[in-house]
Amino acid sequence: MDYEKEFEIKDHKYRSSTLTNGLGRSGQRALLYATGMDEEDMKKPFVAVIGSFSEMVPGHVHMRELAEQVKQGILEAGGVPKLSETIAICDGLCQGHKGMCYPLASRDLIADSVEMVVEAHHFDAMVLLAGCDKIIPGMLMAAARLDIPAVIVTGGPMLPGNVGGNPLFCSCELREYPGRVEKGVCTVEEMKSAEQEALPTAGSCAHLGTANSMCMLTEVLGMSLPGAGTAPAVSNKRKRIAKASGRAVMKLLEKGITPRQILTREALLNGVAGAMATGSSTNLVLHLMAIAHEAGVELNLEDFDRISREVPFICNLQPSGKYPIVSLDANGGIPAVLKTIESKIFLDQMTVTGKRLGEMLESVEAVPGDVLRTLENPQKPEGGIAVLYGNLAPEGAVIKQSGVKESMYYFKGRARVFHSMEEADAAISSDQIGKGTVIVIQYEGPKGGPGMREMLSTTALIMGRGMDEDCALITDGRFSGATHGPCVGHISPEAAAGGPIAFVQDGDVIEIDIHNRSISIQVSEEEFARRKEGWVPLKKPRKPALAKYSALVSSAAQGAVIDVSRL
């Protein structure tokens, strides 16, 4: 008797046949039966549904409901969905304290966890659900790394709050309230009331922070279905997209379309163009380069700066503009944005719909207005992010120029140096920062932080106290998508790696020139050489997870990716 043929349950073209087929797989089949599967199920493709539910994170608290919609779509299309979860950290909850060391490091842990469960269990395809800052890029990195049919389902934005009669209120403004209270322009009671009204629903924060920047970017890249970038988290539209994503991944499996066929260099350049047009978070620089790294695609800071000069900022979205994300959704969403910049992007890119981007845009009409401007009448003539170079940042630095007042496109001042965000915050709150100061925060980079903390508490104090035309901030750390104002981050090399920022001293003259893309310090090479003599980098306390991350992470100029060549 041919025992092997007796157990040819599934077509060998499916990866999951490794679990189901063959005489020697009796134990694996028994374990699958133990989950409630039957023999008919074992004949079908196995699809991983990897969520990121968390009761602690507003952007993820609704993820299990979306996962059920995804599973229904997979079942309808003939697959067998299996749900598991990865972690989700809320950057907003981490702001202003040591917890902010962890979100960026979690991006790689999330990618690793998806790799582990998918490869260990030989899934044939996957749908990945994520809603917030580092979870979405972590899952996109995993999709590029594993290269099996995949669709990303993003969680979507929450609805805006209604605070003080403003129905478009977003939490990015709330972050400025402490500074307003300190200056006496807002009462404690007003702040407490705003806290309760600012975030009315589940979903990622209502403005164009990193979370919604990543939601929209995923759609631009073609890794999520149309509408996924902006549909409100609590809408039935979001649920329909989730179910349709389950069906879509089965079509991708049938056609053999995998993420690396979608995440080409051209698609990633489209992602950069989309980020520039929308005024997205500077964190997208890190994340796009990390996704490119996993996809085996070249992408560098020069690409960002070149496209920034070519693609104007056209979306009037908070924090750089007036409206929340749901307003863009009501005005056509990402398809309308892409239609508006159609002449600036590559249209022959495959998407998870199975169609090329150009095909999808044929039926799209962009209606210009106050939310979405035109190329001829943009919010600003250049893209939302600028890349600066100079003797203070030889490998580059980034700034969200869409959120900077024109009066601050050039700024020259004297340095006031701090070794941490907390030290800088204390100095600002105690009125120790005078006009003409460049606040310098060292040792907050990927290695030095470790974890490259966001400086949102610092930038919010600057904005809330009305200091955004009096001083500037530079750091080897990074900024929240909620940040706006004269704030330069990602200065590379970082202080912990011996970059020039490590040797800045109080009183040094620093010049920031956004128009000319430069950031420089008026210190001679000879003086820098003297300061470097006997230098030992500051090493901050770290627990094991961050110690491992610090030892392996690359420069922000390369996307702060894990450098496996060191292993």
Residue 447 exposure: Cα atoms within 13 Å on the Cβ side: 22
Angle subtended at Cα 152 by Cα 148 and Cα 157, rounded to the nearest 5 degrees: 170
480 is catalytic: yes
Dihedral angle of Cα 200, 110, 223, 123, to the nearest 10 degrees: -120
Q: Retrieve residue 480's tokens.
A: 């929240």
Spot the catalytic one: 480, 492, 520, 555.
Answer: 480
Among residues 71, 83, 14, 4, the alpha carbon closest in space to that of 43 is found at 14
Residue entry with tokens 């966890």:
113
Among residues 175, 168, 198, the alpha carbon closest in space to that of 323 is found at 168
Please report, in angstroms and rounded to a whole number, the separation of the first and last CA atoms in the chain: 49
Residue 441 host element (H or E): strand 437-441
In DSSP notation, 453-503 reads -B-HHHHHHHHHTT-TTTEEEEESSB--TT--SSEEEEEES-GGGT-GGGG
What gap in Å lies between CA 70 and CA 77, rounded to an integer? 11
Q: Are 181 and 468 in contact (CB under 8 A)?
A: no
Q: What is the 3-state secondary structure (H, E, C) of 512-538?
A: EECCCCEEEECCCHHHHHHHHCCCCCC
Q: Are 36 and 82 in contact (CB under 8 A)?
A: no
Q: Retrieve residue 469's tokens.
A: 């035309």
Among residues 486, 452, 97, 498, the alpha carbon closest in space to that of 286 is found at 452
Among residues 444, 442, 416, the alpha carbon closest in space to that of 430 is found at 416
Q: Are 133 and 214 in contact (CB under 8 A)?
A: yes
Angle subtended at Cα 342 by Cα 337 and Cα 344, rounded to the nearest 5 degrees: 110
Contacts of 13 (CB under 8 A, 6+ apart): none
Q: Retrieve residue 258's tokens.
A: 């995998």
Contacts of 85 (CB under 8 A, 6+ apart): 50, 51, 52, 53
* Cβ atoms within 10 Å of 119's Cβ, excluding its own: 13
Residue 83 exposure: Cα atoms within 13 Å on the Cβ side: 17
Residue 438 DSSP SS3: strand
Give catalytic residue positions.
480
